[in-house]
Structure 1
């Protein structure tokens, strides 16, 4: 079974994504910050991480950098409510498989996760 970590500071979005993925038989854990995500990644082998790009304090790009530095082997996906194309390009350069704009088409996300893992 696929295990995915959702990282987003917005509780409603985390819950929405979690429900959508669980309906597709994907196990889900959630983190509300980069620090929380890194702590969970240190003890759990996730198949994929889906992170928001913009969060208070530390954002999704820094999470991607840190996961790369730590040798994280799973697929990484970025979600953004902001239209900053340069940030999406940075995310792809840091190893993100795909970037999704909010509101997220959960069918597209599920398909991308299944293709990547």
Structure 2
């Protein structure tokens, strides 16, 4: 069973994603910030990290860079409520395999997860 980490500062989105992905038989953990996500990644292995781009404390791009520095070998997916194409391009250049805009189409995310896993 694939283990996915959802990183987003919006509690309702985290809960909705967790419930939807668990219904698809994924094991899901959540973090409300980049620093929290890094702590979880130190103690657990994740196949995929799905992170928001804009968050307080540490944004998604910085999280991706720090994960890469630690040797994270899983896949990275970015979700952005900010439609700036440059941010999305930066996310893809940083190693994300996909970048989705908010409001998130959960079915699209599930299709992408199924494809990469």
- Please, what TM-score do these two structures have when normalized by structure 1? 0.97
Answering whether residue 99 of structure 2 is matched by residue 99 of structure 1, we say yes
Which structure 1 segments of 5+ residues have no match? none
Is 1:79–2:71 an aligned residue pair? no
- d(CA) in 2 for partners of 1:48 and 1:114? 11
How many Å separate the matches in 2 of 1:7 and 1:35?
Answer: 10
SS of 2:28's partner is strand
**Using the alignment, how far apart are the partners of 2:74 and 2:11 within structure 1?**
24
Find the aligned partners of 1:96 and 1:73 in 2 and give their Cα distance.
Answer: 12
Question: Runs of 5+ in structure 2 lacking a partner?
Answer: none
2:43 is matched with 43
1:42 aligned counterpart, secondary structure: helix
Per the alignment, residue 25 of structure 2 pairs with: 25
Secondary structure of 1:56's partner? coil
Alpha-carbon distance between aligned partners in 2 of 1:111 and 1:98, rounded to the nearest angstrom: 11
Deviations 1:21-70 (A, max 9, x none): 01111110000000000000011110100000000121000000011111
SS of structure 2 residue aligned to 1:6: strand
Q: Distance in 1 between matches of 2:57 and 2:4?
A: 23
Matches of 1:45 and 1:58, distance apart in 2: 21
